[in-house]
Homo-oligomer: A and B are copies of this chain.
């Protein structure tokens, strides 16, 4: 194999591909990035077995790609990135010298690097699943931003580490929960199909950082019961799905409420953020006391002390005294976008929901915590 290419083009592709690489993968081949040259097309692949990315670069004047000889190499990702990043030349030359030894050169510098055998790279199936639809990249990015934070970080119930996407009757419901809080976004869809899949949050965050970033075009989404595949221009991103039924969450979201607080979203974000350093058992527990006269947010710890902040808002209903994880409510508030938010309560020890009147697509639910103040 031998080719030359614009250094910046190769570097930006390697940077993206490297997002899928696990540097200490127990499977040595997966620590590498595979580069294949064939028929005037360069194909660059990376994978951590869960997430795989493949990008093709076709010879054109802009990218200076010039393939002199077909072939393939497999080189450890961390070395490849360092070399290409620091080579001080417009174009970079890559050439197989002997077996798995390849040479990278540009300017005065050259690197002879011991790679791995590309035949040892796992055979990744990038074929297209049959269920297919398209969505704007930025719209899908917003779904990730508004849900993925609420997934569980614990592996005790693996299915909760992902975001569930359920399409039914022209409605796409995107749900994430760690069983203490829940974030659900429902958008209307003209896709004539049905599916119910759970995509790992890790895969979604990598998708966001690679294919979706600075992208306002349509992406093609193809799904089977094993994988979700996202195609944007010359890039294929795919992630395995989580197995197991996703819990039924519709019934968890209360429809009737005993009281309502309407207030400025940023005021509440800042008030919680100011008190967040007061931690009890490594958690920030905020107490909210509401009546028609007064709304007060406090956070108390025997050793450290306490914060007290009256809030400006409109409260309707019986007086309420409720405690919750400040971080969970902060996450929920940051996922919303409007200025004014509505918090609807169903009682002191029952879940409450946070919504934004300007964006009916999203609902945030948080469970209170019991305290002994």
Decide if B113 touches A304 in the complex (CB within 8 Å). Answer: yes
The yes or no answer to A131 lying at the interface (CB within 8 A) is no
Question: 1/0 per residue A292-310: CB within 8 Å of B?
Answer: 0000000000011111111
Chain A interface residue count, Cβ-Cβ cutoff 8 angstroms: 29
Copies of this chain held together in the complex: 2
Q: How far is the CA of A306 from the CA of B273 in the complex (A)?
A: 51
Decide if B309 touches A86 in the complex (CB within 8 Å). Answer: no
Decide if A111 touches B79 in the complex (CB within 8 Å). Answer: no
Q: Which residue of B lies closest to A307 (CB)?
A: B111
Decide if A110 touches B309 in the complex (CB within 8 Å). Answer: yes
Decide if B109 touches A307 in the complex (CB within 8 Å). Answer: yes
Decide if A79 touches B277 in the complex (CB within 8 Å). Answer: yes
A80 to chain B: closest CB distance in Å?
Answer: 10
The yes or no answer to A101 lying at the interface (CB within 8 A) is yes
Q: How far is the CA of A270 from the CA of B270 in the complex (A)?
A: 45
A275 to chain B: closest CB distance in Å?
Answer: 8
- Complex interface: chain B residues within 8 A of A307 (CB): 109-112
The yes or no answer to A316 lying at the interface (CB within 8 A) is no
Decide if A112 touches B274 in the complex (CB within 8 Å). Answer: no
The yes or no answer to A190 lying at the interface (CB within 8 A) is no
A267 to chain B: closest CB distance in Å?
Answer: 9
Q: How far is the CA of A309 from the CA of B114 in the complex (A)?
A: 18
Decide if B305 touches A101 in the complex (CB within 8 Å). Answer: yes
- Complex interface: chain B residues within 8 A of A112 (CB): 305-308
- Complex interface: chain B residues within 8 A of A305 (CB): 79, 101, 111-114
Decide if A277 touches B82 in the complex (CB within 8 Å). Answer: yes
Q: How far is the CA of A5 from the CA of B87 in the complex (A)?
A: 53
The yes or no answer to A78 lying at the interface (CB within 8 A) is yes
Decide if A274 touches B308 in the complex (CB within 8 Å). Answer: no
The yes or no answer to A108 lying at the interface (CB within 8 A) is yes
Q: Enumerate A310-326 residues with CB–CB distance to B below 8 Å.
A: 310-311
User: If A86-B273, A277-B82 touch, does A110 touch B303 (CB 8 Å cutoff)?
Assistant: no
Decide if A114 touches B310 in the complex (CB within 8 Å). Answer: no
The yes or no answer to A217 lying at the interface (CB within 8 A) is no
A189 to chain B: closest CB distance in Å?
Answer: 41
Q: How far is the CA of A304 from the CA of B101 in the complex (A)?
A: 10
* Most chain B beta-carbon neighbours within 10 Å: one of A113, A274, A310: A274
A5 to chain B: closest CB distance in Å?
Answer: 18
Beyond known contacts A108-B311, A114-B305: 8 more, CB 8 A cutoff:
A79-B304, A86-B274, A110-B309, A111-B305, A111-B308, A112-B305, A112-B308, A114-B304
Instruction: Write 23 A-B pairs (CB below 8 A) sorted by A numbering.
Output: A78-B277, A79-B277, A82-B277, A83-B274, A86-B270, A86-B273, A86-B274, A87-B274, A88-B270, A88-B274, A108-B310, A108-B311, A109-B274, A109-B307, A109-B308, A110-B308, A111-B305, A111-B306, A111-B307, A111-B308, A112-B306, A113-B304, A114-B305
